[in-house]
C-alpha cells in the first residue's frame, strides 16, 4: 500500500503507512528502502541516505536498493561510492538497466563519453522503453552537435514518460540549437511546470523569450523565479538583466553557482557551440611574437576547466590559474598542466600579485564584467612592464547603435552576459596603462543557432 501511495505522489499517506510498518518492524528492509525514497521526495537527502544504507545492510541482495543508494550518493557528490553501489547492483542483476545507465552517467561526468554511450545503448538493449537512457544518450548527441538526432531521442523519452522534466529541458536545448526558439520555449515551460524541473529551465526560458521578442513574458518568468527562490543568485541576476536593473558585473555568487553547476558538462557543451575563445586568444598571443620556449610566467585568469592550458603551457615556465568555481578548478587540476590553481575573484587576486606575470589570458570571462576598469587595472598591476594581456569580450557595437548605451556596456536580457562597445574597451584599457596592438572582430561561439559576435583584444603594458 505504501509503495503504491508513494508512486502515486500521495506522500503524506505513504509516510503515515511506512511509519506504521517501521514501528512494528524496525528492520523491515523494504520499508526502510522506500521510506528513504520518501525522505528524498521530501527534500531530505541526508536522512534518505541513512535509511537506504540500513536497508542494504539488512538485505544485501536487493539490487534496486543498491541502485537507489548509488543515486543518493551521487546527489552527495560521493562519486566513487556511487559507482561501487551501482556495481553491487549489477553483481546481483547484471542487466539492471538503471544501474547500467547510471554508471554511464558517471563515465560521462569523467569525460569518458564513448564508454558512456556504449553503456546507454546496453541499457536500452535491456529495456528499449527506458526513458532515462534515451535522455542520457540524447544528451551525448546534443553535446556533439547532433540536434536532430538528439531531438528524436528526447521525444521518444517523453512519449514514454510525459512529465520527464529533464527530457523537456534537453528537448528545448535541441530545438534552440536549430533556431526553433518558440518550440523551445514551450519545452522549458513544461519543464518548469513539473515538480522535478530544474532552475536551468528558467534561465533557458528567459533567453528563448527574449530571442522571440516576448520581453514581457520573460520579465514575468524572471519575477516568478525570483519569488520562488529569492536567495538564488541566478534568479537575482537574470531578473535584473531582463528588467533593465543597473548591474556593473555578475556577482561572485552567480558566477560560482552557474559554473559549479555546469563543470561536468562544460567542455562538451562548448564543443557543440563551436566555442572558439581559447584558440582566438592563443592566435592573438602568437601575434605578439612571443616564443613558446617555456620561459614566461603566465596567468590564466578565469581558467574554467583549463581549455586554454594546452595552448599556454608551451610558453610557460610557470602557469597559474584563477577561477571562482570549485568544480571548474577540479577539472582544470585534472589536466595536470598548471603549476598553481587558486579559487578567488580574479580582479582582487591579480591586484594582490604586483609585477608577477609576463602574460595574462582571459578567455570568455570578461563577459561577466560590465565595468572593466577594476579588472583591467588589476591586470596592469599583475603584469611586468612590457607584459601582454589577451582577452575576449562580446560586442555591443553590433547589437546597438554606437552611443545608444552611455555606460559603454550592457547586460544581455536573455543570456545575462555583458557586451561592450569597442570605444569603451579601448578607453578603459588606455586609462589602465595599456597600448592596444590587437583589436579584432570574431565569432566567439554559436548560440540559438546564431553566432555570438565579439572582439579579441591584445594589450601591452606600458
Q: Tell me the pLDDT band of 270, cut-offs 50, 70 and 90.
A: low
Q: 374 with 390: CB under 8 angstroms?
A: no
Each residue's pLDDT tens digit, 108-167 = 887 788 999 999 999 999 999 999 999 999 999 988 889 999 999 999 999 999 999 999
Is 337 a member of any domain?
yes
Q: Which residues contact 430 (CB under 8 A, 6 or more apart)?
A: 436
| HSE, side-chain direction, 13 A CA sphere, residue 237 | 28
Sequence-ordered alpha helix ranges (H) in 93-214:
97-109, 113-126, 131-143, 147-160, 165-177, 181-193, 200-211
What confidence score (pLDDT) does residue 199 get?
76
Give Cα separations from 40 to 22, 95, 115 (angstroms): 17, 26, 30
Which range has the worst mean pLDDT, 178-187, 214-223, 269-278, 364-373?
Answer: 269-278
The percent of residues in the chain predicted with pLDDT above 90, rounded, is 75
Q: What does the pLDDT average to over 422-450?
A: 92
What confidence score (pLDDT) does residue 11 get?
86
Q: 322 with 301: CB under 8 angstroms?
A: yes
Each residue's pLDDT tens digit, 365-410 = 999 999 999 999 999 999 999 999 999 999 998 655 555 677 899 9
What confidence score (pLDDT) does residue 260 get?
76
Is 48 a member of any domain?
no
What confidence score (pLDDT) does residue 403 get?
55
Q: 316 with 297: CB under 8 angstroms?
A: yes
Each residue's pLDDT tens digit, 246-261 = 788 999 999 988 887 7
Q: 404 with 430: CB under 8 angstroms?
A: no
pLDDT above 80 (res 216): yes
What confidence score (pLDDT) does residue 3 get?
87
Q: What does the pLDDT average to over 49-54?
A: 93
Is 219 a member of any domain?
no
Q: What does the pLDDT average to over 167-186?
A: 94
Q: What does the pLDDT average to over 166-191?
A: 94
Other beta carbons within 10 Å of 184: 27
Q: What does the pLDDT average to over 452-459?
A: 95
Is 249 a member of any domain?
no
Is 326 a member of any domain?
yes
What confidence score (pLDDT) does residue 108 get?
87
Report the candidate in 394, 401, 375 with the shortest Cα–Cα distance to residue 456.
Answer: 394
At CA 45, angle to CA 41 and CA 47, rounded to 5?
105
pLDDT above 90 (res 269): no
Is 194 a member of any domain?
no
What confidence score (pLDDT) does residue 157 get?
98
What confidence score (pLDDT) does residue 401 get?
52
Which range has the worst mean pLDDT, 25-29, 118-122, 264-268, 382-386?
Answer: 264-268
Each residue's pLDDT tens digit, 313-347 = 999 999 999 999 998 999 999 999 999 999 999 99
Which range has the worst mean pLDDT, 241-250, 261-270, 349-358?
Answer: 261-270
Between 401 and 71, the more confident residue is 71
What confidence score (pLDDT) does residue 265 get?
60
Q: What does the pLDDT average to over 292-307?
A: 95
Q: What does the pLDDT average to over 426-441?
A: 96
What confidence score (pLDDT) does residue 5 get?
87
Which range has the worst mean pLDDT, 22-36, 225-239, 257-271, 434-448?
Answer: 257-271
Q: 110 with 87: CB under 8 angstroms?
A: no
What confidence score (pLDDT) does residue 222 get?
95
The CATH number of residue 278's host domain is 3.40.50.150
Is 398 a member of any domain?
yes
**Domain that includes residue 329, residue range:** 262-461
Q: Tell me the pLDDT band of 271, cut-offs 50, 70 and 90.
A: low
Q: 332 with 323: CB under 8 angstroms?
A: yes
At CA 99, angle to CA 95 and CA 102, rounded to 5?
135
State the average pLDDT for the chain: 91
Give the chain's domain count.
1
Is 91 a member of any domain?
no
What confidence score (pLDDT) does residue 42 get?
81
Amino acid at each position: 500500500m505504501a509503495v503504491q501511495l508513494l508512486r502515486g505522489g500521495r506522500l503524506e499517506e505513504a509516510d503515515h503507512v511506512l511509519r506504521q510498518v517501521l514501528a512494528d518492524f524496525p528492520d523491515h528492509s523494504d520499508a526502510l528502502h522506500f521510506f528513504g525514497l520518501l525522505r528524498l521526495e521530501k527534500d531530505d537527502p541526508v536522512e534518505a541516505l541513512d535509511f537506504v544504507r540500513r536497508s542494504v545492510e539488512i538485505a544485501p541482495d536487493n539490487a534496486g536498493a543498491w541502485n537507489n543508494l548509488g543515486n543518493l550518493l551521487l546527489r552527495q557528490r560521493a562519486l566513487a561510492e556511487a559507482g561501487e553501489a551501482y556495481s553491487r547492483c549489477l553483481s546481483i542483476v547484471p542487466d539492471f538497466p538503471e544501474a547500467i545507465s547510471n554508471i554511464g552517467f558517471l563515465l560521462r561526468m569523467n569525460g569518458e563519453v564513448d564508454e558512456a554511450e556504449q553503456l546507454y545503448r546496453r541499457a536500452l538493449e535491456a529495456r528499449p522503453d527506458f526513458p532515462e537512457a534515451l535522455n542520457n544518450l540524447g544528451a551525448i548527441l546534443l553535446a556533439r552537435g547532433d540536434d536532430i538526432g538528439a531531438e528524436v531521442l528526447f521525444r521518444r523519452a517523453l512519449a514514454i514518460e510525459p512529465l520527464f522534466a529533464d527530457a523537456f529541458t534537453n528537448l528545448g536545448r535541441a530545438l534552440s540549437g536549430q533556431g526553433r526558439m518558440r518550440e523551445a520555449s514551450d519545452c522549458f515551460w513544461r519543464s518548469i511546470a513539473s515538480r522535478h524541473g530544474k532552475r536551468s529551465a528558467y534561465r533557458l526560458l528567459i533567453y528563448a523569450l527574449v530571442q522571440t521578442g516576448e520581453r514581457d513574458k520573460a520579465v514575468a518568468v524572471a519575477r516568478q523565479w525570483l519569488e520562488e527562490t529569492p536567495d538564488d543568485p541566478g534568479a537575482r541576476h537574470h531578473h535584473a538583466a531582463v528588467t533593465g536593473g543597473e548591474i556593473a558585473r555578475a556577482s561572485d555568487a552567480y558566477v560560482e553557482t552557474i559554473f559549479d553547476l555546469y563543470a561536468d558538462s562544460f567542455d562538451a557543451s562548448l564543443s557543440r557551440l563551436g566555442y572558439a575563445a581559447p584558440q582566438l586568444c592563443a592566435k592573438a598571443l602568437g601575434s605578439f611574437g612571443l616564443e613558446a620556449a617555456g620561459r614566461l610566467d603566465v596567468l590564466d585568469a578565469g581558467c574554467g576547466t583549463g581549455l586554454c592550458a594546452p595552448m599556454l603551457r608551451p610558453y610557460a615556465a610557470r602557469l597559474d590559474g584563477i577561477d571562482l568555481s570549485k568544480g571548474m578548478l577540479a577539472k582544470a587540476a585534472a589536466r595536470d598542466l598548471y603549476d598553481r590553481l587558486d579559487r578567488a575573484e580574479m580582479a582582487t587576486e591579480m591586484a594582490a600579485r604586483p609585477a608577477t606575470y609576463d602574460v595574462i589570458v582571459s578567455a570568455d570571462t570578461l563577459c561577466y564584467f560590465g565595468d572593466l576598469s577594476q579588472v583591467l587595472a588589476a591586470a596592469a598591476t599583475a603584469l611586468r612592464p612590457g607584459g601582454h594581456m589577451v582577452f575576449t569580450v562580446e560586442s555591443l557595437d553590433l547589437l546597438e547603435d554606437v552611443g545608444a548605451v552611455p555606460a559603454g556596456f550592457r547586460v544581455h536580457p536573455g543570456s545575462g552576459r555583458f557586451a561592450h562597445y569597442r570605444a569603451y574597451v579601448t578607453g578603459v584599457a588606455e586609462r589602465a596603462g595599456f597600448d592596444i596592438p590587437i583589436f579584432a572582430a570574431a565569432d566567439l561561439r554559436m548560440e540559438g543557432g546564431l553566432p555570438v559576435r565579439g572582439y579579441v583584444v591584445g594589450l601591452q603594458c606600458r
